[in-house]
């Protein structure tokens, strides 16, 4: 019989975000595959905690205030000691903060294999954190990039040797594919005309997502085009003020955060992302899996997912006229929307299904475990 793997996830928090949602989906699938999973986390807040607790797995809190205090050093050695005592095969860090905090201790004070992650683009974190992350990645046996673009950053910016880099995209739950082609117009808390063409953006309301671009672009489209903004964040007051200034209150609607797994893209005719920078956005892949065409800025891992002219339209970052032209052209052409949506669905089924991605991840774990035993 094949030996049962014991994997440790090291997480920053349980808050809702692309990295966090991908981690909990992966955890659920690994447990279904028979993997023994233990979770270590830095912050205990967040809506996703219940999903981990439902797995009935061991969970350990390792709170830190910063990276430099004596208490942080003690937590690092405590983490390594617990992983060593538990006989964990592979410790998998999922984000910038757990890379920086955990990787040196895991490599120096435990005997497990260490898999780090990079799931962000070039401009998300300050230079000081990027420097610390580059240093910490030296302690990993492998580093996972979630798109070709991110793996290129690992090689070119983080100077990770090519033999250590593995590329594995985020995946889409099977029930998302089951909703492909559905068109839902039962909007929670907002009023949108039944005959409206709805563009939607699902992203944190933070500067890097550049919602201002798509908001201004909507001003140059026909009145029948409405925009739904899903997510929350520090930019919301500024964005709502911009909408009022442009006189678009009746065409642009803020929904705030919606529960993970709500498949909100079913409501959209077109899915939009206007970011300055990206790693590999879940919202784009989920939109494709629901048969929706995508309009997005050509940044980071977006260019790995969206085939320009086939599954959607890629525009230059910050190009207001190109964004408005793309939204107008798709919103006016239902046949093109359907053609691009079906092409995106086909690609998502091939590349981003749960079965394909989890199988590849299990192979990475098995290879690392075999190297350790060797």
Residue 78 has a pLDDT of 94
Banded model confidence at residue 216, pLDDT cuts 50, 70, 90 = very high
CA distances in angstroms from 68 to 11, 97, 263, 266, listed in the order given? 19, 13, 41, 45
User: 166-186: per-residue pLDDT in tens?
Assistant: 999 999 888 888 776 666 666
- The rounded distance, in Å, linking the Cα atoms of 135 and 110 is 18
Q: What is the mean pLDDT of the chain?
A: 92
Half-sphere exposure of 246 (CA within 13 A, CB side): 21
Residue 214: both structure tokens together: 């798509």
- DSSP states of 274-323: --S--S--HHHHHHHHTT--EEEE--TTHHHH--BTTTEEEE-TT-HHHH
Residue 147 has pLDDT above 60, yes or no: yes
User: 283-293: per-residue pLDDT in tens?
Assistant: 999 999 999 99
Residue 190 has a pLDDT of 81
Reduced to 3 states (helix: H, G, I; strand: E, B; else coil), residue 360 is helix
Residue 252 has a pLDDT of 96
Least confident of 113-122, 178-187, 315-324: 178-187
- The rounded distance, in Å, linking the Cα atoms of 353 and 342 is 15
Averaged pLDDT for residues 346-361: 93
Alpha-helical regions (H) of 66-143: 70-86, 96-109, 127-137
**Rounded percentage of the chain residues whose pLDDT exceeds 70:** 96
Residue 181 has a pLDDT of 63
pTM to 2 decimals? 0.85
Residue 65 has a pLDDT of 86
Residue 68 has pLDDT above 60, yes or no: yes
Q: Quick one: which of 221, 254, 216 has its CA closest to 235?
A: 254
Banded model confidence at residue 123, pLDDT cuts 50, 70, 90 = confident
Banded model confidence at residue 305, pLDDT cuts 50, 70, 90 = very high
Residue 2 has pLDDT above 80, yes or no: no
Averaged pLDDT for residues 91-101: 96
Residue 77 neighbours by CB under 8 Å, 6+ apart:
105, 109
Q: What residue ranges in 190-235 does DSSP mark as E strands?
A: 197-202, 225-230
Give the DSSP H/E element, type plus range, for residue 91: strand 90-93
User: What is the b/e burial string over 67-92, where b = at least 16 CB atoms within 10 angstroms of the residue's CB?
Assistant: eeeeebeebbeebbebbeebebbbbb
3 DSSP assignment = P
User: 7-52: per-residue pLDDT in tens?
Assistant: 999 999 999 888 998 999 999 999 999 999 999 999 988 889 999 9
Cβ proximity of 27 and 7 under 8 Å: no
Q: Positive or negative, the Cα torsion across 146, 203, 205, 64?
A: negative
Residue 144 has pLDDT above 90, yes or no: yes
């Amino acid at each position: 019989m094949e030996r049962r793997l014991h994997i440790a996830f090291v997480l920053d928090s349980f808050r809702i975000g692309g990295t966090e949602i991908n981690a909990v989906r992966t955890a659920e699938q690994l447990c279904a595959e028979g993997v023994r999973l233990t979770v270590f986390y830095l912050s205990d807040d967040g809506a996703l905690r219940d999903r981990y607790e439902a797995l009935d797995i061991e969970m350990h809190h390792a709170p830190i205030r910063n990276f430099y205090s004596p208490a942080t050093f003690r937590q690092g050695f405590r983490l390594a000691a617990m992983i060593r005592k538990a006989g964990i095969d592979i410790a998998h860090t999922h984000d910038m903060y757990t890379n920086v905090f955990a990787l040196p201790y895991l490599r120096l004070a435990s005997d497990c294999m260490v898999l780090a992650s990079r799931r962000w683009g070039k401009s998300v974190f300050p230079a000081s954190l990027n420097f610390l992350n580059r240093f910490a990645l030296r302690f990993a046996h492998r580093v996972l990039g979630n798109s070709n673009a991110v793996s290129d950053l690992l090689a070119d910016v983080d100077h990770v040797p090519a033999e250590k880099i593995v590329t594995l995209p985020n995946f889409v739950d099977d029930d998302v594919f089951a909703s492909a082609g559905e068109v839902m117009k039962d909007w929670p808390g907002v009023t949108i005309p039944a005959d409206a063409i709805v563009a939607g953006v699902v992203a944190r309301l933070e500067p890097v997502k550049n919602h201002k671009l798509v908001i201004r672009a909507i001003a140059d489209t026909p009145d029948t085009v409405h925009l739904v903004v899903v997510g929350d964040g520090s930019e919301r007051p500024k964005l709502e003020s911009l909408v009022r200034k442009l006189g678009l209150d009746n065409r642009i609607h803020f929904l705030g955060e919606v529960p993970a797994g709500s498949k909100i893209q079913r409501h959209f005719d077109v899915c939009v992302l206007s970011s300055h920078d990206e790693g590999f956005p879940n919202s784009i892949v989920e939109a494709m899996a629901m048969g929706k065409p995508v309009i997005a800025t050509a940044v980071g891992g977006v260019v790995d997912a969206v085939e320009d002219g086939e599954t959607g339209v890629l525009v230059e970052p910050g190009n207001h006229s190109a964004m408005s032209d793309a939204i107008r052209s798709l919103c006016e052409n239902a046949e093109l929307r359907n053609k691009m949506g079906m092409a995106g669905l086909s690609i998502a089924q091939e590349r981003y299904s749960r079965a394909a991605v989890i199988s590849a991840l299990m192979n990475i774990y098995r290879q690392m475990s075999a190297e350790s035993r060797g």
